[in-house]
Structure formats: C-alpha cells, structure tokens
C-alpha cells in the first residue's frame, strides 16, 4: 500500500515500485491512495481478494508492464480499479480525484469474478490513458472509462472497451476486437467493424452494421425501435447474417415468432424483397408498436436460434455464490447463502434469495430482489440506473427492508439527502404511494441524471439506509448491543457495554469500545480496532476483567489496529511491548501487557484458537506511519479506510 494515511500531511510523492510479487491479500494486491507521481512496474499481482491494483485519490500514477491476473477472489471487482477518495470527513477535509493515471503495456487476465480489465469510475476520476495492454478473461468487458477526457487505444489480445454515444446523433465505430457499442438517444450510426460485437442503438432511428464476426443486436425497450400512427422510429440492421448474428429481444416481453398478436412478432418481407420486418401489431399505452427492419429477405431464416426472446437463467446453490451476468438480459438467482450477483448489461432480473447478498444490476433496466437477509443493492456507475428527459433506465428494488438492507451509492459521489441538487438526493413518492424514488436532478454531459426506484412507500428512508462514503457505520449505545453487518464494508462501533459485533461479509472495521465485547469479523479483510487501552483490559489485583474476544481472526487477511495505544511491537510484555501467550489447552491466544497503569489495569486481547506460531507483527498495526508500502503475501491492504 502506498498512501498518505490518516494524518493531515503532504501526500507521498515520487515513488517507484519495481518488480516483486503481490498476492493472496484479502483486499487489493497493491493500493495507491492519496499519493502523487507513483510508478508500479514489472510486478506480478495475483490471487488477491479485491482488485489487483487500485488507484484511489492519486495523481500521475503509472501502471506499466505488469502481469496482473486472477484477482477479485472475494467477489466481483475489476483487475485494475481507478477511483476517487472522499476524505471530506477525515483529517484533510478534501475530496481526492484520481487524475492522469496511465495503464500501459500490462498483461491482464481476469478470474471468474473479474468484471473489467480496467475500470474507471464516474466520480471525478479523469484524464486516464489506457493503451497497449493485453486483456482477456474478464466477465463484463475489458475497459470501461468514466472520465470525460480519458482515452483508450486498442490493445493486443483481442481486447476493446465499451464505446458509448451521447444524447445527439452519433457515429460510433468499433475496433477489430469484440466491442460493445451503445448509441443512447438520437439517430445513431453504429458500425461494429470486425470482431464479435454487441450493438444497442437505444432511442432514436438508428442504423446498425455489425461488420465481420458473430454480432448481437440488442433492444431493451419498445422505444428503441417502433412505429406509431403518425411517426416512424424503426431501426435498420444493415448486414444481418442469420447463420451467426442474433437479435436480442429478451427484455421486451415477447414470447416468440407468430402472427404479431398475443405477444408474438410477425416476420414480413417488403414487396420487392429488399427488407424484412419483425412486427408487433399490438400498441403499448403510448401507441407504439415494436418494428425492426433488416436489410434483405430474411423470411425463412429467422428462428429461435437467432432471435432471443427469453432470458438466460444463471443459478447459484445453497452456499456463497458469485454470479456474473453478461451483456444480455438474464435471470440471476442466488438461492441460499451470502451471494454476490452482478447483472452486467441487459435488462436483468436478480434474486438474492436467503442470506446476506450483494446485488448490482449493472447497465439496463434491472429488477432487484434481495430476499431474506441483510442485503446490499450496489450502484457502481451513473449509467447503471438513470433517466433522461425522454426515457427511464432506472433499476427497481422490489423488496427493500429498511431495517436490514442498504443501498450502496459510494461510487457516485453523493453527499446525502436533500433537494436533489448540488450532489444531494431527493426522496420522491409517486401519487399512488406505491413506489419511492431516489433522484438527483443534476444532469451529466449526455443529459443523464441518477434515479433508482423502490417498490413501496419509503418516504421515511434516511441516510442510515444509504452507503455514501464507502463504509456504512453502525453505532451501538452505552448498553449491551448486538450489531450485525451485511454484505457491504461496514464500521461497527459498539460503544460502552458488553457488545456482540458481527461484521458479516465485506471488509469491515470493528471497534467494541469499553466493556467485554465479542467480535466476529465474518468473511472479508476485517480490522479489529482498539482506540484505548481500557477498551480491553484485566485488573489482576481487583480480580476483574473486561477482555474482548475475537472469534475468527484470519492471519494474513485480518488486522489488529493498535496504532493508538503506543506499543512498539511484540516482545516480553514489558517496555512497551506485548507478549503472545497460549492457554493450557491450546484453544485461546492472548496478547498481553505485563505492565499495569496507575489503577492496575493491563491491556489484554483474546483470540479464539491457537495463534502462537502464526500471529506476527505483520498482522498488527502498532503505528500509523506517513508512508506504508505493503503488499507482500498476507499483508492487509488499507489501514486508514
């Protein structure tokens, strides 16, 4: 890890990390945070729980000639993640964008959970340059850049990025690789060139050319291609090849080919045979009838193999599953366990089932149901859930439970609830009181503004149900509390009293405070923080003890944060050190200070299990230094988060 850390000090700068291997961490392999002029070159970064490399709130960072592979082991994540860091509530009071990052010459190979090779979030991160990388094996795409001025040039290994239009009439041309071209509104011309491409014209009268390769032409709303009694907004596919191309209509609700009635589409050729039409004779409430034109006579060639009507089903089991959708419309069903569901593109149906689940619809109009358990609904980008002046691409959360569930908007930069302007969100209830919306009225350059819908009346929704800064805080009282986290990264603060803290999934921070507390991190890279020596102590003279018990500490993944206590390291328990002791039956390990304070209190922590030969100073933060360079196997990744 390279970062400024929690004090208000100048940012670390002019740092070069060359060579080495960074692997098997619970979080990121390499985290470059609140720093400037940093180069990471010639390293191998693999098998880490989160992103292989994360650049967060840093400037002028170069990621050059590295081998980055098989990361995102603990859930959906990018191999390389570029995003901002919000320290407005921290020591500096600043918001740090990542600017002028260069990702060049790397070999990037995704794991089963890797969403993108390089992902740049739309949170102020900008001016990134991504070029000459070899990217393969990722699940949702190769490169996705959110910055207005960021650039991508085609890489080797068949990689390409999403190519997206704006609100006007766009001309989008793909590369020789497999591209995803999104026209948005306007009368667009999309040309996939070579490669197996996905073309989505969006609203407007669009002209779509797949080019060479097996291409997918996707339509997600009736308004993408239709007739009315007085107007024609029919898209034209110029070069449909029935032997290898496909038309994806899975999000429209049609059941198949037929006579154009009762939910079917008719196949008709023009009188001269120059065009073929897929037509519905049934209009929606706005008088629109779906119609799509294909160049040439395709009658007799269109069938269930090349026209997709049903969503593909992706099912999990009773355990903890990671389910990743593609760019098509799909149904993801987590069943039991604490699952991570990411829809990808398309209008997806996500059902978490029982357990604490994390659901991210991705692009498209998605329907999200968490099921039983404390679920987190994540929106990673503005383009995941939004509306324009003429159309809605909002996701719908069907079963939000304000007592347990959370909505994670930490990647979007909103500050809280308000009037929907200046970075705030407005709560809006429809006239029938059966649907609640979270809205922001500030449009981006393409006329998009954030919106997400919740089924039901949630007019009393508060910021405690929203994750806005990357970690939700759960606060205890002065009595004995039971705090249970969900699938997100959370901060559990017990306060005084005998508390039971359980982080659940996610990279959590647990601080029991005063009293004899029981701390369970759950899955993820967790931090157990002790801010005062009296938070966990024993008084041998008085025969009293308030020793905290850590139930599930994982060496090499979790971290004991003792940086506020003034100890120098492990030793014999004297002269500012802590001694490591095992009980007689080998079931509990203790960290002890053999020297008492003026009242006879000795600092002491208990860990369930035998750590006498495994726990080391690498698992304990004794000081907060100005610059930390961590990342070897088993080293925690973010001490100041």
* Contact (CB, 8 A) for 3 and 35: yes
Q: How many CB atoms lie within 10 A of CB 243?
A: 8
Reading across the β-sheet that carries 559-561, which strands appear in turn? 472-475, 490-493, 509-511, 527-529, 559-561, 620-621
pLDDT per position as a tens digit, 584-639: 999 999 999 999 999 999 999 999 999 999 999 989 988 865 224 332 223 333 32
Tell me how long the chain is: 641
Same fold: 165-310 with 328-467: yes
Which pLDDT does position 627 carry in this prediction? 26
The pLDDT, as a whole number, for residue 295 is 96
- Dmax of the chain from CA atoms? 101
Closest alpha carbon to 40 in 28, 50, 49, 31: 31
Q: Are strands 559-561 and 527-529 parallel, antiparallel or unpaired?
A: parallel
pLDDT interval class at 230 (50, 70, 90): very high
Residue 22 predicted with pLDDT over 90 = yes
Which tokens belong to 86?
A: 């919000």
> pTM of the entire structure?
0.53
The pLDDT score that the predictor gives to residue 413 is 83
Domain boundaries, the chain: 15-156, 165-310, 328-467, 472-626
Contacts of 585 (CB under 8 A, 6+ apart): none
Structure token pair of residue 475: 């606060």
Give φ, ψ of 104 to 5 degrees.
-145, 140
In the chain, % helix, strand, coil (3-state, to 5) comes to: 0, 35, 60
Closest CA to 217 of 295, 319, 269, 285: 295
Contact at 8 Å (CB) between 321 and 313?
Answer: no
According to the model, what pLDDT value does residue 471 have?
Answer: 64
Per-residue pLDDT band for 365 (boundaries 50, 70, 90) equals confident
Token code pair at residue 3: 């970062």
Distance CA 134, CA 625 (A): 36
Q: When comparing pLDDT for 243 and 115, which is higher?
A: 243
Separation of alpha carbons 130 and 151, rounded Å:
6
| pLDDT of the residue at 152 | 76
Quick one: fold of 472-626? Answer: Alkaline Protease, subunit P, domain 1 (2.150.10)
Spatial CB neighbours of 50, under 8 Å, sequence gap ≥ 6: 26, 27, 28, 71, 72, 74, 75, 77, 507, 637
Q: Is 464 helix (H, G, I), strand (E, B) or coil?
A: helix
Contact 2, 38 (CB under 8 A): yes
Indicate the range of 4-18, 126-140, 213-227 predicted with least confidence: 4-18
Model pLDDT, residue 81? 96
Picking from 453, 254, 351, 177, the residue whose alpha carbon sits closest to that of residue 343 is 351
Closest by CA to 342, choosing from 361, 320, 326, 365, is 361
Tokens (6 digits) for 543: 């025969």
Per-residue confidence (pLDDT) for residue 635, from 0 to 100: 31
- In whole angstroms, how far apart are CA 445 and each of 76, 147, 148, 340, 450? 28, 11, 9, 32, 13
Question: Starting from the edge strand earliest in sequence, which strands make up the sheet with 59-64, in order?
Answer: 13-18, 36-41, 59-64, 102-104, 129-131, 151-152
pLDDT of residue 419: 94
- Residues 424 and 448: their CA atoms lie apart, in Å, by 15
Output the 3-class SS for 235-247: EEECCCCCCCCEE
Q: What's the rounded Cα separation, in Å, for the pair 531 and 537?
A: 12
Collapsed DSSP state (helix, strand, coil) of residue 340: strand
Q: What 3-state DSSP class applies to 295?
A: strand
* E strand spans, 274-355: 275-279, 289-295, 307-308, 312-315, 322-324, 330-333, 340-342, 349-351
Q: Which residue has the higher pLDDT, 229 or 356?
A: 229
Topology of the domain covering 328-467? Alkaline Protease, subunit P, domain 1 (2.150.10)
Q: What is the mean pLDDT of residues 444-453?
A: 88
The rounded mean pLDDT for the chain is 87
Question: pLDDT grade, residue 48 (50/70/90)?
Answer: very high
525-565 pLDDT, tens digit per residue, is 899 999 899 999 999 988 888 999 999 999 999 999 998 89
Q: Looking at the domain 15-156, which fold is it?
A: Pectate Lyase C-like (2.160.20)
Instruction: State the burial class of residue 267 (Cβ atoms within 10 Å of its Cβ: 0-12, 13-18, 19+).
Output: buried
CB 183 within 8 A of CB 160: no
Q: How confident is the model at residue 268 (pLDDT cuts 50, 70, 90)?
A: very high
Predicted local confidence at residue 638, as pLDDT: 33
CATH class of 165-310: mainly beta
pLDDT above 90 covers what percent of the chain? 53
pLDDT at 367 over 60: yes
Contact status, residue 605 vs residue 560, Cβ threshold 8 Å: yes
CB atoms within 10 A of CB 181: 27
pLDDT for the residue numbered 116:
84
CB-based contacts of 612, cutoff 8 Å, min separation 6: 580, 581, 582, 589
């Amino acid at each position: 890890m390279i970062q400024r850390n929690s004090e208000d000090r100048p940012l670390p700068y002019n740092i070069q990390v060359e060579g080495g291997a960074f692997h098997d961490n619970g979080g990121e392999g390499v985290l470059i945070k609140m720093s400037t002029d940093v180069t990471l070159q010639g390293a191998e970064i693999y098998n880490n729980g989160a992103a292989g490399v994360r650049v967060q709130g840093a400037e002028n960072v170069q990621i050059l000639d590295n081998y980055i592979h098989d990361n995102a082991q603990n859930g959906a994540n990018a191999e390389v993640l570029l995003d901002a860091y919000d320290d407005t509530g921290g020591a500096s009071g600043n918001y740090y964008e990542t600017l002028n990052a260069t990702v060049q010459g790397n070999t990037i190979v995704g794991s089963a959970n890797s969403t993108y090779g390089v992902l740049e979030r739309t949170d102020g991160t900008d001016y990134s340059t991504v070029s000459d990388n070899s990217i393969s094996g990722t699940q949702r795409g190769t490169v996705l850049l959110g910055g207005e001025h960021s650039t991508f040039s085609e890489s080797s290994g068949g990689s390409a990025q999403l190519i997206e239009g704006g609100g006007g009439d766009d001309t989008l041309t793909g590369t020789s690789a497999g591209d995803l071209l999104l026209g948005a509104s306007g009368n667009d011309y999309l040309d996939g060139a070579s490669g197996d491409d996905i073309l989505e014209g969006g609203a407007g009268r669009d002209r779509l050319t797949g080019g060479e390769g097996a291409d997918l032409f996707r339509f997600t709303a009736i308004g993408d291609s239709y007739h009315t009694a007085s107007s024609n907004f029919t898209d034209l596919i110029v070069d449909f090849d029935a032997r290898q191309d496909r038309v994806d209509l899975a999000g429209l609700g049609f059941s198949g080919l037929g006579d154009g009635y009762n939910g079917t589409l008719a196949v008709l050729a023009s009188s001269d045979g120059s065009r073929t039409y897929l037509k519905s004779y049934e209009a929606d409430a706005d008088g629109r009838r779906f119609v799509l034109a294909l160049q040439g006579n395709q009658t007799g060639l269109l069938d269930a193999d090349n026209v997709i009507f049903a969503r593909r089903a992706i099912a999990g089991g009773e355990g903890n599953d990671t389910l990743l959708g593609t760019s098509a419309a799909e149904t993801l069903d987590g069943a039991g366990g604490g699952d991570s569901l990411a829809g990808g593109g398309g209008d997806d149906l996500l059902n978490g089932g029982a357990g604490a689940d994390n659901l991210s619809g991705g692009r498209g109009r998605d329907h999200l149901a968490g099921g039983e358990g404390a679920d987190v609904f994540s929106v990673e980008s503005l383009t995941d859930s939004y509306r324009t002046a003429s159309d809605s691409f909002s996701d719908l959360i069907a079963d939000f439970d304000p007592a347990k569930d959370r909505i994670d908007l930490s990647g979007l930069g909103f500050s809280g609830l308000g009037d929907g302007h200046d970075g705030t969100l407005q709560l809006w209830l429809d006239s029938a009181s059966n649907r609640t919306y979270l809205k922001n009225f500030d449009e981006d350059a393409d006329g998009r503004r954030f919106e997400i819908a919740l089924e039901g009346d949630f007019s009393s929704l508060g910021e405690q149900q929203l994750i806005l800064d990357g970690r939700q805080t759960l606060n205890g009282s002065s009595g004995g509390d039971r705090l249970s986290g969900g699938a997100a990264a959370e901060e559990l603060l017990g306060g005084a009293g005998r508390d039971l803290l359980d982080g659940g999934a996610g990279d959590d921070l647990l601080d029991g405070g005063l009293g004899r507390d029981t701390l369970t991190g759950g899955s993820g890279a967790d931090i157990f923080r002790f801010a005062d020596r009296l938070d966990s102590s024993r008084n041998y003279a008085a025969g009293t003890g308030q020793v905290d018990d850590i139930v599930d500490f994982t060496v090499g993944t979790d971290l004991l944060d003792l940086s506020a206590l003034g100890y120098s390291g492990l030793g014999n328990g004297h002269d500012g050190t802590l001694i490591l002791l095992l009980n007689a039956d080998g079931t509990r390990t203790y960290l002890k200070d053999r020297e008492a304070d003026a009242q006879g209190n000795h600092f002491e922590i208990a860990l369930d299990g035998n750590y006498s030969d495994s726990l080391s100073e690498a698992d304990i933060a004794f000081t907060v230094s100005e610059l930390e360079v961590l990342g070897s196997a088993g080293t925690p990744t973010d001490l100041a988060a």
